[in-house]
Amino acid sequence: MLLLLLAALLGTGLLLLLWARGRPGRAAGRSQRWRLLLGHSLVLGGLGWATSRQRRCLENQTKDVRQSQERCLLRLLKEAGDTEPDSNTFREHHPLKPGRLDKDGSRQPILHPGSLPGPWTLLQSCWALDAPLQGSMLYLDILSKVYPGLGDDIVPSRSSALYVQLLFALQEQALRVLKAGLASELHDALAILHTNWEGLAEDLASGWLSPQLKLPEGTRYQLDSLLSPNPVRAAELRAECSRGFDGIAQRLWPELQAVVVGESGSEQLYGDTLREQDCKGIPFYSPFYIATGALLGVNLWPEESDCRYLLCPGWAFCEFLPAGTHSEEPLETVLLGDVWEGQEYELVLSAHPGQYRCRVGEVVKVTGFYHQCPVVEPVRRLSQTLSVRGESIPEDHFCHTLHRAVGMWPGAKLVDYICAESSLLGATSGTSAPHYQVFMELRGLRDLTEGQRYKLDQCLQEDFPIYKSFRFKGSIGPLRLHLVAAGAFAQLRGVMGTPAPMARVLRERHLLDFIQSRIIS
């Protein structure tokens, strides 16, 4: 077993890790082989100790949630040079802040599940209080107990290097887990397999990356040095893909035991699609709950189909506003140990030094408790609410209505969708009343009749009386539905840049222009 470090920048600065069996690539000599084996042994040895310790720490923290939260808050204040005697005084002195948690609107760095740290980092994590490191250790501890041996083959995937990472994954028949930060990343990677499996087979057989793949020469050289000709595996790939793609993951990797992806909220659509086709029959596990760059919770129940997360009291200081609280109302928050099961709350986070009591626009539902700590499921993002006249249709409610409408179109399968409010079009929206623009990718239907297109507007009127009232008055115009070409949304995610849970409402004109350029009907 060898740990191959793929320094594949591909224009994004990503570092890829691949646990792989078999021979090293062309550049690996005897000394390099022993260095890799030594590094592998150190990592595996450190993992066992570090993961067990972090699980014990979590158990202790969840048994006294108030004390754990106080310690977390005092640590944040100390790192920023602030002093407050307790959480009550802290809340009196610091008003709630609207908007994003991120500094200057930028995304905080996230350690994705499967981004394995080195041996020294593992040892450091055993006493460090850094949430991402603790999260990685807990995730590995949980997964190893349910699926023994998964640590032998781990393939993290990132959207900016899908083809290359897919190629390296295809080299190894003995993979036991497929892993991506988001379900949409794995969905898009396997879509490449659908459309370009012949090219992947050629690269496997030759041991060289296709010259048609646009890469910096230095990056290409490094990646080519890690490849070896594998005509046998190339033949297996051709044989399996020629049979179709139902259950293709299990057929290409017979030892595959789990798919590990983030699939809460808007990512669930891609997880469901993977379960139905490419990854049919393979258990899924969504390990972490992350909100605007802050690691907040861990999924302790990998064998269950529903994604729910224990909010870890040592990772961020959490407060909660009852969902639906309006800005003109007194904003009184409740603490982590005071929420009620079955209720929905808007998150208020103090997760980074100097950034306190931020309303991050995430709504969660409390589904139960683990010891004293709440277990939650993400429900919606407030930034993804549709509203052109103050009607406010939440993200999750619109998604439900959309699926209901698609179910009325015989043979149609929803692949992806996104919306925009007509105000984003500016002068190009014409003189019509404000309305929604909806862009969809469908499988099974090439076009829609006007009656089918109107069905979605009709369903919205049935599900949302305020929307129906505005439609009746003419204050809101009829919804406009567009079909886009296959692969348009994967391309849109590339234009969006930094990987993040898929948006459902566009707020930037250049993104709207892009998806409009892919309309086919």
Indicate the pTM of the whole model: 0.82
Q: Say what percent of the chain tops pLDDT 70.
A: 78
pLDDT-derived band at 144 (thresholds 50, 70, 90) equals low
> For 161-182, what is each residue's pLDDT tens digit?
788 889 999 998 998 888 888 9
Return the structure tokens found at 218: 């230095």
pLDDT-derived band at 497 (thresholds 50, 70, 90) equals confident
pLDDT-derived band at 213 (thresholds 50, 70, 90) equals confident
Exposure string for 270-280, b = 16+ CB within 10 A, e = fewer: bbebbbebbbe
- Identify the helix (H) or strand (E) that includes residue 513: helix 509-516
Lowest-confidence segment of 24-28, 199-203, 261-265, 329-333 by average pLDDT: 24-28
Question: In sequence order, what are the residues at sequence separation of 6 or more whose Cβ sits closer than 8 angstroms to the Cβ of residue 60?
Answer: none
Q: Is 104 exposed, middle or buried (0-12, 13-18, 19+ CB in 10 A)?
A: exposed
- For residues 207 and 229, the answer to whether their CB atoms sit within 8 Å is yes
Q: Is a pLDDT exceeding 80 seen at residue 156?
A: no
Q: Hey, how many other C-beta atoms are within 10 angstroms of the C-beta on 97?
A: 16
Residue 4 β-bridge partners: 18
Scanning 172-257, the segments in alpha helix (DSSP H) are 183-206, 217-225, 231-241, 248-252
Residue 317 sits at φ, ψ, to 5 deg, of -85, 115
- For residues 515 and 488, the answer to whether their CB atoms sit within 8 Å is yes
Find where tokens 């200057």 sit.
104
* Nearest C-alpha neighbor of 25 from the set 230, 232, 199, 165: 230
DSSP label at 266?
G
Q: Taking the CA of residue 511 as centre, how many other CA atoms within 13 Å lie in the half-sphere pointing to its CB?
A: 21
Find where tokens 């959207």 sit.
159
Q: Taking the CA of residue 5 as centre, how many other CA atoms within 13 Å lie in the half-sphere pointing to its CB?
A: 12
Question: In sequence order, what are the residues at sequence separation of 6 or more whose Cβ sits closer than 8 angstroms to the Cβ of residue 367?
Answer: 308, 341, 342, 375, 376, 377
pLDDT-derived band at 309 (thresholds 50, 70, 90) equals very high
Terminal alpha carbon distance of the chain: 51
- For residues 286 and 261, the answer to whether their CB atoms sit within 8 Å is yes
- For residues 207 and 234, the answer to whether their CB atoms sit within 8 Å is no
Residue 236 sits at φ, ψ, to 5 deg, of -60, -40
Give the span between the Cα atoms of 166 and 163, in whole angstroms: 5
Long-range pairs for 248-251: beta carbons < 8 A, 24 or more residues apart:
248/190, 248/193, 248/277, 248/278, 249/178, 249/190, 249/278, 249/279, 249/282, 250/279, 250/280, 250/281, 250/282
Give the span between the Cα atoms of 402 and 394, in whole angstroms: 12
* pLDDT score for 338: 96
Give the span between the Cα atoms of 26 and 226, in whole angstroms: 6
- For residues 178 and 260, the answer to whether their CB atoms sit within 8 Å is yes
Q: Hey, how many other C-beta atoms are within 10 angstroms of the C-beta on 408?
A: 12
Q: Hey, how many other C-beta atoms are within 10 angstroms of the C-beta on 13?
A: 7
Average pLDDT over residues 74-90: 89
* pLDDT score for 518: 97
Return the structure tokens found at 12: 């994004």
Q: Given 3-state DSSP classes, what are the helix, strand and coil percentages for the chain, each rounded to the nearest 5? A: 45, 20, 40
Q: Reduce the DSSP state of residue 87 to 3 states and report it.
A: helix
Pairing of strands 436-443, 480-483: parallel
Residue-level length of the chain: 521
Average pLDDT over residues 496-508: 90
Q: Is a pLDDT exceeding 50 seen at residue 343?
A: yes
Q: Say what percent of the chain tops pLDDT 90.
A: 59
Angle at which helix 231-241 crosses helix 183-206, to 10 degrees, equals: 130
> For 20-70, what is each residue's pLDDT tens digit?
344 445 544 444 433 443 444 445 455 565 677 778 888 989 999 999 999
Q: Is a pLDDT exceeding 80 seen at residue 155?
A: no
Q: What is the mean pLDDT of the chain?
A: 82
Q: Is a pLDDT exceeding 60 seen at residue 415?
A: yes
Amino acid at 158: R
Indicate the Cα dihedral angle 304, 363, 184, 172, nearest 10°: -40
